[in-house]
Amino acid sequence: MTDRKRTTGRRTRGKATAPDAGERAFLETYDPGAFPRPSVAVDVAAMTTRDGDLHALLVRRGEHPHRGRWALAGGFVGIQESLDDAAARVLRTKAGLPGIFLEQLYTFGAPDRDPRTRILSVAYYALVDADRLRKACAATEGVVLARLRTSWKGEAGGPVEALDPEGMAMPLAFDHADILGMAVKRLRGKLDYSPVGFQLLPPLFTLRQLQDVHEAVLGRRLNKDSFRRSVVTKGLVAATGEMERDVPYRPAGLYRYAMPEDA
């Protein structure tokens, strides 16, 4: 194992300090190519809920390695590109999805996770409403929306399976079953205390739709009365006064996401 002088980061947030004379001299003689470096990629788990289950966008690999298997949308990080920018670019260029909610998930770095060379993957998850993600998949060859099946409950964690429309397991490339598992776990955890679930719905939605989203993510049924009460009394949603239309039953009120007062 190598161990040498540490070298990490400059202050962000505009507080970067000007290097003094000694530091300038050091930087001029610094050789960045002195040690072997891994490649760094981003992989994006773009997810939505549909028919009561979580779904994710998968891309069929047309090239080696793992040709023919299904993978998350991914790509290398440019040498002058931030990680967030790289993830947004991948989602925009590989799936035609600009302006999507994205959050960093975890960095996968097992030395043998890619057969070519050492490649780290900084994984992101993205939340998209179902209509938009369905259209994006239909518009691009080799891109599908796969149903996810978790064999574990709650936030225990573990890999997830991707299923095609016939319910057959789709072979996943690399460690992407683990990345998807981490995404589902994170999403379940976030849903309890964070308004992240609204990213999976259109701007106006009914309380039933919101509950369906929560149930799909959590993988279990929720109490209808409690769910309604908690989401309304916490002020997470606001009634718009508008109603559903063209439904074969009593139309429900339409709500919109309401940022709680502290944010």
Partner DNA sequence: TGAATAGTGTCTATAAGACAATATCCC
Partner DNA sequence: GGGATATTGTCTTATAGACACTATTCA
Residue 104 as a binder of DNA (CB under 7 A): the answer is no
- Segment contacting DNA by CB under 7 A, of 76-84, 101-109, 155-163, 244-252: 244-252
User: SS3 string of 14-82?
Assistant: CCCCCCCHHHHHHHHHCCCCCCCCCEEEEEEEEEEEECCEEEEEEEECCCCCCCCCEECEEEECCCCCC
Binding residues for a second copy restricted to 185-204, rule: CB under 8 A:
189, 193
Task: Using the minimum distance from each CB to a second copy, give the nearer residue, 107 or 151.
Answer: 107
Residue 184 as a binder of a second copy (CB under 8 A): the answer is no
Task: Using the minimum distance from each CB to DNA, give the nearer residue, 24 or 224.
Answer: 224
Binding residues for DNA restricted to 178-237, rule: CB under 7 A:
206-208, 222-230, 233
Chosen from DNA, a second copy, none, partner binding at 168 (C-beta under 5 to 8 Å by type) = none
- Segment contacting a second copy by CB under 8 A, of 63-71, 213-221, 226-234, 236-244: 63-71
**How many residues touch a second copy (CB under 8 A)?**
82
Residue 132 as a binder of a second copy (CB under 8 A): the answer is no
Residue 6 as a binder of a second copy (CB under 8 A): the answer is yes
Binding residues for a second copy restricted to 228-257, rule: CB under 8 A:
none
Find the binder of DNA among 246, 260, 261, 262 (CB under 7 A): 246
Distance CA 76, CA 42 (A): 6
Find the binder of DNA among 169, 238, 243, 259 (CB under 7 A): 243
Task: Using the minimum distance from each CB to a second copy, give the nearer residue, 183 or 254.
Answer: 183
Cα 161–Cα 166–Cα 172 angle in degrees, nearest 5: 30
The footprint of DNA (CB under 7 A) covers: 206-208, 222-230, 233, 243, 246-253
